[in-house]
Amino acid sequence: MNAALRAVVLAAEHYGIETIAFRHGYQGLLENDAMPIKAKDVLHILQYSGTIIKSARCQRFKEADAAQEAAANLDSHNIDALVIIGGDGSFRGADHLANHWQGKIIGVPGTIDNDLYGTDMTIGYATAVNIAMDALDKIRDTADAMDRVFIVEVMGRDAGFIGLGSAMAAGAERMILPELQKEKPLTVAALVKHIQRVQEIRGEGSYVMVLSEHQWPGGAVALAEQLEAEHHLPCRPCLLGHIQRGGAPAPADRILASELGVHAVELLLAGEHRVMAGKRANERVAVPLPDTWQKKNPLDQNLLRIQHEIFNPVKKNRRTKTDN
């Protein structure tokens, strides 16, 4: 977030535009909690996680009168354009505001979940994968030494991006992702079978599983208990939680944030409105805001195929053979 904020401020200054920041997102917009922000204020914030202008959830913003208040506050500062850095909720809010305000609005995709349509990557995703992978690497060290089963629960809202990215990067034996669950929900029996086959094939018991949030009732803790109590598989859970939202941002996130922050300002200068500044297949794009949350950003099918099939130690045909 900081990196995107910095890019917007620096690009604005470059083009001779003044900038004002609202603290705490929409909540601050309603409370008119504004501060002028200049190049000097964003010096050397690039390496820090979080955001110097803080963020917050704001339930009330969905209502019409909230958007009208926000519009009035924006007008009170003579603001011509608003850059919103955030995810799907922020963009819905932005679109809602656009119905009640005359100024121009550009979104910058900032969410760890990578679940916005129209851009290959969202700002924050690379860092989240990095952190989840690092946790999986550490787990692997122990798993190898102790021949055990481990479940690491990662974030992602309703999308499996963090799950797939970290599972692939860390070479996990199994992923439980929303996209896979929707297709064919995994049963405990099938899971236990897979674990046992992997252990047979390899002659060792290290088995690391990535579980996307909301994909198992009770999460990693409950699944671990189930495997241990019902199937006598010693199993340890790990719940990463908000660790995934912190830490020094990965280079890919800082670079993307710099590009898209500048891109947002240049879209404004080009007269664009109600779009998200994105990047797809190396091209800068402008994506209509409603598309970003109405259309689904699909998982990379090739990565899914590689991780789920090609790198799967248990082959489908082999399974059939031994099953008969």
CB 94 within 8 A of CB 87: no
Active site residue 80: no
Annotated catalytic residue, options 88, 95, 113, 253:
113
Cβ 127 to a second copy, closest distance in Å? 10
Distance (Å) of CA 236 to CA 78, 136, 200, 242: 56, 12, 20, 19
**Which residues ranging from 65 to 104 are in contact with a second copy (CB under 8 A)?**
none
Cβ 168 to a second copy, closest distance in Å? 5
Exactly one of 17, 31, 33, 50 binds a second copy (CB under 8 A); that residue is 50
251 contributes a contact to a second copy by CB under 8 A: yes
CB 166 within 8 A of CB 129: yes
259 contributes a contact to a second copy by CB under 8 A: yes
Distance from C-alpha of 30 to C-alpha of 58, rounded to nearest angstrom:
9
Tokens found for residue 277: 């500044």
Span of 83-91, 146-154, 179-187, 287-295 interacting with a second copy by CB under 8 A: 146-154
Distance from C-alpha of 154 to C-alpha of 131, rounded to nearest angstrom:
10
Cβ 5 to a second copy, closest distance in Å? 12
List, as own/partner pairs, every contact residues 145-148 make where C-beta atoms lie below 8 angstroms and the sequence separation is at least 24, other chains included.
146/206, 147/204, 147/205, 147/206, 148/205, 148/206, 148/207, 148/234, 148/235, 148/236
E strand or H helix at 220:
helix 219-231
**Which residues ranging from 213 to 242 are in contact with a second copy (CB under 8 A)?**
219-221, 236-242
Exactly one of 59, 145, 184, 271 binds a second copy (CB under 8 A); that residue is 145
Exactly one of 63, 147, 200, 230 binds a second copy (CB under 8 A); that residue is 147
Span of 10-18, 91-99, 174-182, 186-194 interacting with a second copy by CB under 8 A: 10-18
Closest to a second copy by CB, 185 or 251: 251
Residues with a catalytic annotation lie at 113
